[in-house]
Structure 1
Amino acid sequence: MSETILEIKNLQVEYHTEHGDVQAVRGINYQVKKGETVALVGESGCGKSASVKTIMGEKEANQVIKAGEINFTYQSKGQERTIDLLKISPKEMQSQIKGKEIAMVFQDPMTSLDPTMKIAKQIAEAIKASNPQMNKEQINKRVIELIETVGIQNAKVVMEQYPHQLSGGMRQRIVIAIALSGNPSLLICDEPTTGLDVTIQAKILDLIKSIQKSRKLSVIFITHNLGVVANIATNVNVMYAGKIVETGTSEDIFFDPRHPYTWGLLESVPDVNENVKKLPTIAGTIPDLTQPIVGDAFAPRNKYALKVDFKEQPPMFKVNDHHYAATWLLDKRAPKVEVPAILQKRIAKMKKEAEVNGE
């Protein structure tokens, strides 16, 4: 099978509102290869969720896809097939792709689970939707297998409970079990650990990482917190104001970040081992996306901004074969700007920890 299972080309999405047309996604490009985890990272409102909902065919009434392609490659009846997900009918998306080839785990499990239905029935319905040929005994066995797959030991007890009887971490595990019921080749995780305490968050991340490796799943992981994806992502796309402003391997982004916005995100990640009274923050807010953006959208918040940032949008400058960043600071004519001191210390510490752990 092709190494690349998902390729997004020049995707542009806008929403019609009473205040104007919101340019939520302003032309993004990236690929997801078989068995890798690609993270989309950025503040709320930067276009992460808006971009992946189009992959799932989740179209809102006021949404317009202005341009782009979403080419998905999968196995159909023993043969490889590539389709543009933006061009197939809702019926084909529902019957062939959604839940079967591509599944999604949302932020709040309570919005995904029916509070009036037992866990077993909810998982069983998902199994039946993608495996209509299964009988009752096979479905029941599969329900137990899925519950155990997501790390829940007392499966027979849990399957007879209702969502409100489970903890937040347990509910999220059940949502992941439902997502896995159709044996998808691509799993989209939209802020799956938000709202969970740090200990449970780490367990859910370990679970996703373990499932991804054992099943050779491709994963798109959405988060506003770069620290969350440090040990789970193969590649990272940093998004700002509807565009990808930096892209690279996990090592590129964490050990050699080049965009000032990426610096700000990394600086704002709490570190329990640092004696810091106040975490650095990125001043200001994302721009109004109903208005035309001139130059670099991040310029008004960027303390390293050059005059050209307010006039012309920077291209993606190449750092290496797999690392690019859209900042004029990478232009040969730009003044040399050092990575912030606090971030230099963190990078040195992360590199040292990676060496100790043999990563």
Structure 2
Amino acid sequence: MTETVLEIKNLQVAYHTDHGQVQAVRGISYQVKKGETVALVGESGCGKSASVKPIMGEKEANQIIKSGEINFTYQTENGPQTVNLLKISPKIMQNRIKGKEIAMVFQDPMTSLDPTMKINKQIAEAVKASHPEMNKDQINERVLNLIETVGIQNMKVVQNQYPHQLSGGMRQRIVIAIALAGNPSLLICDEPTTGLDVTIQAKILNLIKDIQKSRKLSVIFITHNLGVVANIATYVNVMYAGKIVETGTSQDIFFEPRHPYTWGLLESVPDINEKVDELPTIAGTIPDLTQPIVGDAFAPRNKYALNIDFKKQPPMFKINDHHYAATWLLDKRAPKVPIPAVLQKRILKMKGAS
């Protein structure tokens, strides 16, 4: 069996605000195995980023971890070791885990790069922090190797430039190079292609996919766009209002989606072969997470909602051994609601292309 690198159990994260306590993550559980890419997908504000910050030990002043475990397994000289990242000291997190075993690529590379420092020095700093035993020549060799790894051809020129002299796509490649400096076993990508044009976006996605395969990296990929993860994710967790509402393999989610929210996300993905005046959207907004939620959080926006949706939260119904969805439509007593015709047509087209 493939070894589990990360296991999250019933994680609940809240934030104190002037308007009350925001229940940002309301009890999520999932695993990431070695060499897999697990996508967290959902609209802005559904809890994706809030759920991964504790993995990196990112503690904000108003953040409360209400419950849960984040068990991370990594290799040591004495073999594999598993730690609960919520229980280890900030010192161990900083010196042993962060940047070395777990690294992160953020949405805006300019927030990750120092505008006053040349690219070569920034990558070198990351290498030194992860490999203090290396001498200057070894560090320089490692820097060039990392620049080459992220697909930059004119590396001699790029390493002597400042971030503002590079394009957005090039900057994101440098951020990925810095993230790889410590040879992490888990890479978290938080909306890494947002803001890039579609051509560059595709190149960055292919780069992450190639690096993941060549290094057997485990990847958590966060995005609001299901279309982005179609070709890179092993498993997809669809999040809504701080919970996972559907989970399955990429094939499960793209070819056999069962939750109305997943249907809406898939319908919202642009199709270059379809001529439409206006893209479909999901009506309404995410609920106020400072208030108690009764029933299914998606019910007010769900045109297929049943009476029970407004009274009782649905459990995760099993569709197959790796596909589950939290919707009362899967209850054997519920009326049979087919996948929307527009989406069925698109799925048939995708199946034909695959």
TM-score range, shorter chain: over 0.9
Which residue identity does 2:315 align to in structure 1? P
Question: What's the counterpart of residue 29 of structure 2?
Answer: 29
Partners in 1 of 2:136 and 2:218 — Cα distance?
30
- Return structure 1 stretches of 4+ with deviation > 3 angstroms: none
- The answer to whether 1:217 aligns with 2:217 is yes
Question: What's the counterpart of residue 6 of structure 2?
Answer: 6
Question: What's the counterpart of residue 314 of structure 2?
Answer: 314
Report the secondary structure of 1:35's partner residue.
coil
Partners in 2 of 1:108 and 1:324 — Cα distance?
33
Contact 1:44 1:224 in 2 (8 A): yes
Which residue identity does 2:95 align to in structure 1? S
- The answer to whether 1:160 aligns with 2:166 is no
**CA-CA distance at 1:77 after TM superposition:** 1.4
**CA-CA distance at 1:187 after TM superposition:** 0.2
Partners in 2 of 1:280 and 1:343 — Cα distance?
11
Question: What's the counterpart of residue 60 of structure 1?
Answer: 60
Unaligned stretches of 5+ in structure 1? 355-359
Q: Report sequence identity in percent.
A: 85
Report the secondary structure of 1:14's partner residue.
strand
Compute the TM-score of the two structures, normalised by the length of structure 2.
0.99
Residues 185-233 of structure 1: CA deviation (Å, up to 9, x unaligned): 0000000000000000000000000000000000000000000000000
Change (3 A) 1:272 1:161: same
Report the secondary structure of 1:54's partner residue.
helix
Residues 160-199 of structure 1: CA deviation (Å, up to 9, x unaligned): 0000000000000000000000000000000000000000
Partners in 2 of 1:78 and 1:254 — Cα distance?
42
Contact 1:2 1:73 in 2 (8 A): no
Partners in 2 of 1:230 and 1:308 — Cα distance?
33
Unaligned stretches of 5+ in structure 2? none
Mapping for residues 80-229 of structure 1, pairs under 5 Å? 80-229=80-229
Which residue identity does 1:67 align to in structure 2? S
**CA-CA distance at 1:2 after TM superposition:** 6.3
Q: How many residues align?
A: 354
Partners in 2 of 1:300 and 1:54 — Cα distance?
30
Report the secondary structure of 1:201's partner residue.
helix
Residues 267-304 of structure 1: CA deviation (Å, up to 9, x unaligned): 00001111122111100000000000000000000000
Compute the TM-score of the two structures, normalised by the length of structure 1.
0.98
Which residue identity does 1:99 align to in structure 2? G
**CA-CA distance at 1:33 after TM superposition:** 0.3
Partners in 1 of 2:66 and 2:127 — Cα distance?
35
Report the secondary structure of 2:55's partner residue.
coil
**CA-CA distance at 1:68 after TM superposition:** 0.1
Report the secondary structure of 2:56's partner residue.
coil
Question: What's the counterpart of residue 256 of structure 2?
Answer: 256
**CA-CA distance at 1:133 after TM superposition:** 0.5
Partners in 1 of 2:89 and 2:341 — Cα distance?
52
**CA-CA distance at 1:142 after TM superposition:** 0.6
Structure 1 range deviating more: 121-130 or 271-280: 271-280
